[in-house]
Amino acid sequence: MITKKDDRRVKYTKMVLKDSFITLLEKKDISKISITEICENADINRATFYAHYNDQYDFMNQIQDELLGNVENHLAAFSKNDLPIAIVDMVEQIFEYIKENARICKLLLSDRGDLNFQKRVFMLVYENIINNIVWNDSISKEDAEYIHAFTLTGCIGVIQKWLNDDMKKSPRFMAATILKLTSEYQDLYRNSKTDV
Residue percentage of the chain with pLDDT more than 70: 80
Domains and CATH numbers, the chain: 1-53 (1.10.10.60), 61-192 (1.10.357.10)
Residue percentage of the chain with pLDDT more than 90: 47
> Per-residue pLDDT tens for 35-48?
999 999 999 999 99
> Per-residue pLDDT tens for 65-119?
999 999 888 777 665 555 555 778 888 888 999 999 999 999 999 887 878 888 8
CA dist 125 → 18, 30, 72, 138, 180 (Å): 25, 26, 8, 22, 17
Over residues 25-52, mean pLDDT: 96
Most confident segment among 118-132, 166-180, 181-195: 166-180
Q: Crossing angle for the helix pair 56-80 and 35-42, nearest 10 degrees?
A: 70
